[in-house]
Structure 1
Amino acid sequence: MSKVTESVQLKNGVTLKNPLMLAPMTTQLSFFNGIITEDEITYYKNRSKDLGALVTGAANVQFIGKGWPGELGVYDDKFIPGLTKLAQAIKGEGAKAILQIFHGGRMSTLTATEGETPVSASAVPAERPDAVTPRALTGEEVLTVIQDFKRAAIRAIKAGFDGIEIHGANTYLIQQFFSPHSNRREDEWGGSLEKRYHFIDVLVDEITEAVAKYAESPFIVGYRFSPEEYETPGIRMADTLYLVDHLAEKPLDYLHVSLNEYDRLSVEKDYQEKTILAYIHQKANGRVPIVGVGGVQTQADVEHVLENAELSAVGRAMVYDPDWAGKVLNKQPVHRLEEIDEQVRNLRGTSLWDFVQQVRLDKE
């Protein structure tokens, strides 16, 4: 039997029917106030078939953490009814429903926060055009952020999700605390590598303790991270392997490596003998399942990923073809990403929903 069709058991005992996951992707389909729309529910429902699990796009745990317009909210109980519909739609198609929770930190925009200055570990702007200089969180506010992540996890439980994914990747707030570029603090939350990890350490413990208290059945908790930063100073592979080593000892059900190509090599010469994913998988050493992602488009790609991971996430291929997973499982032809990218170029500047509608029409 191919690994692609084998079930996967997570650390908490939950079994996924296969190792295929929908990668979390921004849709911008929610209302301006973070309430989910029927279009967004339909989008996820159509992509839940045949998958082991589906991870939603980011849901912000604080209003000040909103990263972009059209983003799903989970920072208030008012979101629970809509989130319940979403969880039911995903689970109704057979996939485990996982809500990704996040805070944009310094990557939030003044437009998204309605003019309120974004916050971060330190008052250091991102190295991108027109980046806003964030306000450094006070010690008391750091604790509030952690509690708001915890409350978001509890809301996901109440809404009927099978799990959550903590978004510690893609330069958002959690990563900002771990990064020596964005974290210049001199208190208990910054300085040495150990102190930069402290925020993650406390955050994961608070969330997993809340899950143990409030979930009536095994509830998935995953963690996503980016292995390298290009800023100087920035996160390097040694930092990431330290992170993986420590997270592997926690009651997390998987670690999700955020990569644009699953076979990418490190930019560091000392870590180019094998892929980044291979180094991370080796460090995890079977203690926690690893999710590989990036450029997955065929069954062969999935099998390559599973050489250094227990789970394989797919993104763009399922934006184009909601039936991709079933085709891969049944060894049917699938569309190449080159075809998808050509349509993306032709539709540049449109929303994801417009793109989905356009390619749907092209297929009819």
Structure 2
Amino acid sequence: MLFTDYKLGSLTLKNRIVMPPMTRSRAAKGDVATALMANYYRQRATAGLIISEGTQISRQGQGYAWTPGIYSPEQIAGWKQVTDAVHAEQGLMFAQLWHVGRVSHTSIQENGAAPVAPSAILATGVKVFADPAGKGAENGAGEMIQHSMPRELTKAEIKAIISDFAQAAKNAITAGFDGVELHGANGYLIEQFIDSQTNHRTDEYGGSLENRLRFLKEVVTAVADAIGKDKVGVRQAPLTTLMGAMDDHPEETYIAAARILEDIGIAYIHIAEADWDNAPVMPVAFKEAYRETFSGTLIYSGKYTTERAMEALGKGWADLIGFGRPFIANPDLPYRLQHALPLNEPDKTTFFGGNAKGYTDYASIKHTEATVLEKA
């Protein structure tokens, strides 16, 4: 099943393998996607679906150095060369739209402003990748630093951010993306509103579960109205504790969120399972509850192997499977998985920032075989 095609709304995916979003911090000045990035994604276009790295909807939404945006004409043009390259290889690509909320630093924000959040709560030990010296992505000289103390958003600012999401979705379609994924996971702004331990508001955006889900509902509705619900996905991470975001009753909370997304009628939910050692395991009953609640496509990502992927597809928990880090060093990952070929190991020192090294210089199996034949 993993290597068969799949209908996602009006799109036909060539296989059920998804390249999920992975921040690589290689945007140029002005947070513009580059020709190097176009080549990186083009190399991986044999995935059934590519979801771009997190792409900030505004300068305020940025939390890391050298990440791309999609709010200026230059950024839209930069992404257009990426989507053109992917489409030239018969690939499909969604843009992940991102507002980091509190997970930022004053050195990244415009004019040294404080990051924003549902509530003014600092997550101790949560670090962001910054470039305080201003050396640029190609030098790869960024550093991990504690995020800055956030301030609480006003209701007027919340409404403005919802509008920013809708405009960013329109910009993504203009840039040639086939749809968008809203980053509602990993402790960023949407999840900060959802989770009980990061949202201590006392107005209609906090307190009760219904109120904590209000921001999600309003953002998704605005984006669906802007570009069509069939072009919209949402990423969730019900059990991860990344960036200090935690909920006291995750299954209740996230199944309620899935019910909202079902009512809106979006294309998919992308569930990020915890993928580190000794991480919480998502119970089968939780996955079954997602399936019972949401009739659209379900994508799961998190340390999946071919065997685990086939099991998830076979048991009906998932429709598509994301393979994250393996795609970094294996641009031809679907071919390698289908033929049970060995995988390259990625160079972790080149994950964030830098140039082509550790980014576009990993050889495919077919390229390696061709080189061997030429030398024979």
* TM exceeding 0.5: yes
1:183 Cα deviation after fit: 1.2
Which residue identity does 2:154 align to in structure 1?
A: T
Per mean C-alpha deviation after superposition, the further-off stretch among 348-357 and 119-128 is 348-357
> Take 2:34 and 2:124, find their aligned partners in 1: how far apart are those partners?
33
The aligned residue for residue 138 of structure 2 is none
1:75-90 correspondence runs (5 A): 75-90=71-86
- Residues 229 and 313 (structure 1 numbering): CA distance in 2 closer, same or farther, change over 3 Å? closer
CA–CA separation in structure 2 for the residues paired with 1:139 and 1:257: 29
* Cα drift, residue 354 of structure 1: 3.4
Instruction: Work out the CA distance in 1 between the residues paired with 2:66 and 2:285.
Output: 35
Match of 2:326 among 317, 332, 348: 317
The AA in structure 1 aligned to 2:233 is G
The change in CA–CA distance for 1:245 and 1:72 in structure 2 (over 3 A counts) is same
Q: When the two structures are superposed, what TM-score results if normalisation uses the length of structure 1? A: 0.85
- CA–CA distance in 2 between the matches of 1:281 and 1:264? 26
Does residue 238 (structure 1) correspond to residue 238 (structure 2)? The answer is: no
For 2:77 and 2:270, the matched residues in 1 are separated by 28
How do 1:177-326 and structure 2 match up within 5 A?
177-212=193-228, 220-230=231-241, 234=247, 236-261=250-275, 266=280, 272=283, 274=284, 276-284=286-294, 287-298=295-306, 300-306=307-313, 307=315, 308-326=317-335
Residue 222 of structure 1: SS of its match in structure 2? strand
1:1-364 matches, cutoff 5 A: 3-10=1-8, 12-49=9-46, 51-114=47-110, 115-128=112-125, 130-212=146-228, 220-230=231-241, 234=247, 236-261=250-275, 266=280, 272=283, 274=284, 276-284=286-294, 287-298=295-306, 300-306=307-313, 307=315, 308-329=317-338, 331-335=339-343, 340=345, 343-344=347-348, 354-356=357-359, 360=363
Aligned counterparts of 2:45 and 2:362: Cα–Cα separation in 1: 18
Tell me the percent identity. Answer: 27
Alpha-carbon spacing, 1:56–1:264, altered in 2? closer, same or farther (3 Å): farther
CA 358–95 in structure 1, closer or farther in 2 if over 3 Å, else same: closer
CA separation in 1, counterparts of 2:299 and 2:78? 28
CA contact (8 A) 1:297 1:334 kept: no
Corresponding position of 1:215 = none
Structure 1 residue 116 displacement after superposition: 1.6
Residues 43-101 of structure 1: CA deviation (Å, up to 9, x unaligned): 1111112x211000011001011111110111223322111111111111122111110
- Alignment: residue pair count: 342
Relative to structure 2, which stretch is displaced further, 35-44 or 229-238?
229-238
Aligned partners of 2:95 and 2:328: how far apart in 1? Answer: 18
Change (3 A) 1:229 1:293: closer
Q: Distance in 2 between matches of 1:195 and 1:181?
A: 14
Give the whole-Å Cα distance in 2 for the aligned partners of 1:91 and 1:194: 40
* 1:348–1:177 distance in 2 versus 1, CA, 3 Å: closer
Q: CA deviation at 1:297?
A: 3.8
What SS does the corresponding residue of 1:101 show, helix, strand or coil? strand
* Cα deviation, residue 232, structure 1: 8.5
Distance 2:35 2:109 in 1: 24
1:276 Cα offset (Å): 4.9
Write the deviation string for residues 230-266 of structure 1: whole angstroms up to 9, x where unpaired: 4686252221121112212222111000124499985
Classify 1:262/1:334 alpha carbon distance in 2 versus 1 (closer, same or farther; 3 Å). Answer: farther
Contact kept in structure 2, 1:29 and 1:353, CA below 8 Å: no
Please tell me whether the aligned partners of residues 32 and 71 of structure 1 are also in contact (alpha carbons under 8 angstroms).
Answer: no
Could you tell me how far apart the structure 1 residues matched to 2:351 and 2:331 are? 21
Query: Following superposition, which runs of at least 4 residues in structure 1 exceed 6 angstroms of deviation?
Result: 262-265, 346-350
Please report the TM-score for the alignment, with normalisation by the length of structure 2: 0.83
- The secondary structure found in structure 2 opposite 1:237 is helix
Secondary structure class of the residue paired with 1:106: coil
In 1, Cα distance between equivalents of 2:19 and 2:57 = 21
Root-mean-square deviation (CA), in Å? 2.8
Q: Partners in 2 of 1:52 and 1:233 — Cα distance?
A: 32
Distance of aligned partners of 1:27 and 1:197 in 2 relative to their CA distance in 1, 3 Å threshold: same
Q: Matched residues in 2 for 1:352 and 1:289: separation?
A: 35
Which region of structure 1 is more displaced relative to structure 2, 139-148 or 103-112? 103-112
* Aligned mates of 1:195, 1:175 — CA distance in 2: 13
Q: Which amino acid aligns with 1:188?
A: E
Closer/same/farther in 2, CA of residues 303 and 151 from structure 1, 3 Å limit? same
For residues 280-325 of structure 1, the C-alpha deviation after alignment (integer angstroms, 9 at most, x for no partner) is 33443xx111001111243x23212323200111111111110111
Specify the code of the residue in structure 2 equivalent to 1:321: N
